[in-house]
A = this chain, B = another copy of it.
Amino acid sequence: MFKLSKKVEYGILSLQYMANQNGNIITAKEISEHLNISFEFLSKTLQSLIKQGLIESIQGVHGGYKLAKPADKITFSDVIRALENRSSIVECLTEDIENCGRISCCTIKTPMTQIQDKINNIFDITTIAEIAIY
């Protein structure tokens, strides 16, 4: 399957939403209602975004979240890195190389690496700023 996980989808939607708030902090509840998704699940997603340094949180009664840096400095790659067990299109392109029984005589490593690079580039050059509206 070649699709983004729900976490990445929700992450991008949340970041897009925050990017349109002009620096004001917003709560997870507000985002979850706006996107019509589970508050619990969204919260975990947001917490992962914090770990990666993409957003900041304020605890307490008037707490919430906001972007930790300008929207044009947050790429889709950043979001994916924060929210998915980063993997490559075939195992052997990353640290999982040990697991592949064809390492010694691999005939697809070069083309697969080229494809991987192209895909990475797509997500590297797409930023939240580009998809923010208003």
Contact = CB atoms under 8 A, between A and B. Distances in A.
Interface string A87-100: 11111000000000
A16 B131 contact: no
A130 B80 CA distance: 30
B1 A85 contact: yes
A36 B4 CA distance: 31
A89 B131 contact: no
A115 interface: yes
Of the four ranges (under 10, 10 to 19, 20 to 34, 35 or more), the interface on chain A belongs to: 35 or more
Given A107-B13, A126-B115, A102 B2 contact: no
Interface in A96-128: 101-102, 107-108, 111, 115, 118-119, 122-123, 126
Contact of A133 (B36, B89, B107, B131): B107
A96 B76 CA distance: 23
Contacts of A1: 1, 5, 84-85, 87
Contact of A12 (B76, B91, B108, B126): B108
Given A2-B89, A89-B4, A130 B111 contact: yes
A5 B1 CA distance: 7
